[in-house]
Structure 1
Amino acid sequence: MSTVDGWGGRVDLPEDASTRRWHQWVRRAQAGAAPGVALLGFACDEGVRRNHGRVGAKDGPVALRKMLSNLPVLDAAPLYDAGTVDCTDGDLEAAQSRYAQRLAALLDAGHFAVGLGGGHEIAFASWQGLAQHLGTRRPRVAIINIDAHFDLRRQDEGSSGTPFLQAIEHAQALGIDLQYHVYGISAAANTRVLFDTADRLGVRYVMDDQLNLLTLAAHIEQLQARLADVDLIYQTIDIDGLPHAMAPGVSAPAARGLPLEVVEPLLDAVAATGKLRLLDVAELSPPLDRDNVTARVAARLIHRVCHAAWQARTGA
């Protein structure tokens, strides 16, 4: 059993590298530790509440750790748990700032950082952390989002519907060249002003009904060509971008969504660039989940991306 809070599960014999699971491998993140994969939770519902969604995402980090615990260790990457940032007082902006500071420290230490949401307001916190890590450097950055929603809404205060508009405007203020790509946009889930905003900002997006097994190869080739011109990538996955039957435990279920047979090759292509520096998963709402279906899917995607990103980093 792991000595790290929130982790535990099955132990197979013989107890060696061939039978190791995440709960046996994970350690608390400490200063000076060798670079590896570092998980950081964001237990927050405030952005979803402000966006009039179904709350429950604050329980996401606990559920994700539980589902990740029994997954097999596929490589030699050190695995760390950096704890969880909570938002219990309604002050989303302060929670995002705390998360950003801790994320920046993980990136500074050379870790591949994985955010466990929480609502999609985690994305602006992740972006702020990445910007802090960059300091005075001005690389070309791409955000790749799997999502039914643009999350480019303009509101009086930040929410789960505003993070990418906030990130784009923050990047512009800093002079950072930021691209935003979204896969799975639903015509039924975004108002006309959001499409207009996306077009005005030069957002690259693919609709959910345009992306299927027949068109997947062409879209991946196009994405690879665009990513050739960027220096680093931030991948974010909104679990509500998957079909409702596959991901029922979310704040805003998708009527269509992108299935795993489309999502996973897209994620593989991003990780294979070797430029992926951080990942987060948002909108898992355990109180709305059934039999941990959504949490299992989210954990599978985290597991897959971490392995692929580490392979690309090490040349394995």
Structure 2
Amino acid sequence: MNSLDLPLYSPAPEWTGRDDGPGPEHARWHSVVTPATADTRDAVVLLGYATDEGVLRNDGRQGAAAGPEALRSALGGLAVHDDRARHDAGTIATVGDNLEESQEEVSRRVAELIEQNNLVILLGGGHETAFASHRGLYRGLGEKSAPIVNLDAHFDLREAERPTSGTPFKQIADLVGDGFDYSVFGISAANNTRVLFETARDLDVRVVTDVELASLTPEEAGAAAVEACIDADAVHLSIDLDVLPASVAPGVSAPAGLGVALERIHAMAVAVARTGKLRLVDVVELNPSYDADSRTAKTAARLINDIVAALPR
């Protein structure tokens, strides 16, 4: 393989944001995030995955590869109210069409971080991120799977000759076999074919549609998400920003015609974080090219911020 076809790694960038003064009383993300090292443990670690080759293969609109940079920018100025260690492990990029190679590199790095008892937050990138990150979690836990709570308008259970942004959870099912435990909240019936619902049924997937979520209070939605992983020791939370209404999240690969209200998505994400079982988070499908006033990036950053804030001390 030509060296130019290998996954490209970039170290953690310099974080920037509003500076109100020195000391923890003025802390913001940009002032507390430090580069991760081989010794980083028991911390929150961000890892970027600049990829949208899977989106291209899935006939989506490209631009998600710029997601990690936009997410860091939106996070940088948010205020920090705790002393939890936050680190940045840099960014892995898909170069050309080398998706499979970059996914392997993401899996390797996630596994190393999980072995050090870190909470890993993947900044995507297309939803092909989820297979790479979950495989890393699986390896880091000693080839043990963990329940997945996916907040998403799509199942992403497609069968395809090559991995795409539409195949990650079917790939995970093939990887872990009987250990596959998948719950998806926000499914749009209008945007998922009958065969995808049949695949979900065959794999015993817990499914809650966008319409069903609309009938729940945020508290009830949060309780439903927790119930999906109540017996787990470790949990993988995947947030596809296209689950949100297009008015809230216009900058995604596939904007939602209906979507799930932000209050419910926020409640579910925070409720899962409060369990203390969260080991892996993906935030995916941010497409800055279509993001009016950085609306989607700011929403995603707030979700990440509040997930970290909700972690048990």
Whether 1:242 and 2:244 are equivalent positions in the alignment is yes
8 Å CA contact 1:186, 1:208 repeated in 2? yes
TM-score (norm 2): 0.93
Residue 6 of structure 2 aligns with which residue?
none
The answer for the alignment partner of 1:160 in structure 2 is: 165
1:118 to 2:120 alignment: no
User: Is 1:132 equivalent to 2:139 in the alignment?
Assistant: yes
The 5 A counterparts of 1:1-316 are: 5-13=13-21, 15-136=22-143, 138=144, 141-172=146-177, 177-212=179-214, 214-309=216-311, 312=312, 314=313
Q: Which amino acid aligns with 1:81?
A: D
Q: Would the alpha carbon gap of residues 194 and 292 (structure 1) be closer, same or farther in structure 2, given more than 3 Å must change? A: same
> Cα deviations across residues 253-284 of structure 1 (Å, max 9, x unaligned)?
00011111111111122112111101010000
Residue identity matched to 1:103: V
Q: Deviations over 1:208-247 (max 9, x none)?
A: 0111264544444344334222221000100011000000
Segment drifting more, 265-274 vs 239-248: 265-274
Distance in 2 separating the partners of 1:113 and 1:130: 9
- Conservation of the 8 A alpha-carbon contact between 1:142 and 1:178: yes
Residue type of the partner of 2:306?
R
Cα distance in 1 for residues equivalent to 2:27 and 2:244: 30
Q: Partners in 2 of 1:193 and 1:148 — Cα distance? A: 16
Q: How far did 1:7 drift?
A: 1.3
Q: What amino acid does structure 2 have at the position aligned with 1:225?
A: E
Gaps of 5+ in 1: none
Contact 1:213 1:262 in 2 (8 A): no
User: Could you say if the C-alpha distance between residues 34 and 194 of structure 1 is closer, same or farther in structure 2, counting changes exceeding 3 Å?
Assistant: closer
The alpha-carbon deviation at position 308 of structure 1 amounts to 1.3
Measured in 1, the distance between the counterparts of 2:40 and 2:220 equals 41
When structure 1 is superposed on structure 2, of 190-199 and 221-230 the one drifting more is 221-230
Q: Distance in 2 between matches of 1:108 and 1:130?
A: 9
User: Residue 221 of structure 2 contacts residue 267 of structure 2 at CA under 8 Å; is this kept in 1?
Assistant: no
> 1:109 Cα shift?
1.6
TM-score scaled by length of structure 1: 0.92
Measured in 1, the distance between the counterparts of 2:54 and 2:216 equals 36
**1:74 Cα deviation after fit:** 2.1
What residue ranges of structure 2 are gaps of 5+ in the alignment?
1-10
Superposed CA deviations along residues 32-73 of structure 1, whole A, max 9, x for unmatched, are 234211000000010000000000000000101100110111
- Report if the CA contact (8 A) 2:149-2:229 is conserved: no
Structure 1 distance, partners of 2:142, 2:95, is 29
The change in CA–CA distance for 1:76 and 1:213 in structure 2 (over 3 A counts) is farther
Task: Give, in whole Å, the separation in 2 of the partners of 1:163 and 1:34.
Answer: 27
**DSSP 3-state at the match of 2:165:** coil
Change (3 A) 1:4 1:283: closer
Aligned length: 303
Q: CA deviation at 1:193?
A: 0.4
**Contact kept in structure 1, 2:252 and 2:287, CA below 8 Å:** yes
Conserved 8 A contact 1:42-1:118: yes
